[in-house]
Amino acid sequence: MPLHEYACEDCGRKDTRLVLKREDEGALKCRHCGSGRLKRLISRVAIHRTEADRLAALDTSRQPDEAYYRDNRNIGLRAKKRMQELGVDLGDAFEEKLEKARTTTNLEDLTSD
């Protein structure tokens, strides 16, 4: 997606915008102060890692940092890795429950089964 970050040169606020065409950048205005003096910033780069890659890199011997728990893709990942290390196959039902936990916003959805 063509999401770009901008900083307002007047008020200093930062904002992320969807810009489909480069020529549309000139019409952007600061959402806070209305200024048209926006400067495009260099944004973070995201690298896609598969669950298999994340599992392989996960070290269950140490506690993950706080950022680890902000990513909902990591729900159940430590349990899954630990079970693999112990040679336990939790089966398809476990995989389905994990996927549901990763995508739901309502905790009651998880307990209804």
Domain span at residue 96 reads 51-111
Region of poorest pLDDT, from 17-26, 61-70, 86-95, 99-108: 99-108
Question: Band of the pLDDT at 109, cuts 50, 70, 90?
Answer: low
Position 101 scores a pLDDT of 84
Q: Do 32 and 78 fall into the same domain?
A: no
| Residue 61, domain member (yes or no) | yes
Q: Do 15 and 65 fall into the same domain?
A: no
Query: What residues have CB less than 8 Å from 1, skipping those under 6 apart?
Result: 18
Q: Do 58 and 17 fall into the same domain?
A: no
Q: What tens digit of pLDDT does each residue of 22-76 get?
A: 888 889 999 999 999 999 998 777 778 888 998 999 999 999 888 888 888 888 8
Q: What is the pTM of this model?
A: 0.49
Of how many residues is the chain composed?
113
**Are 4 and 28 a contacting pair, CB within 8 Å?**
no
| Residue 93, domain member (yes or no) | yes
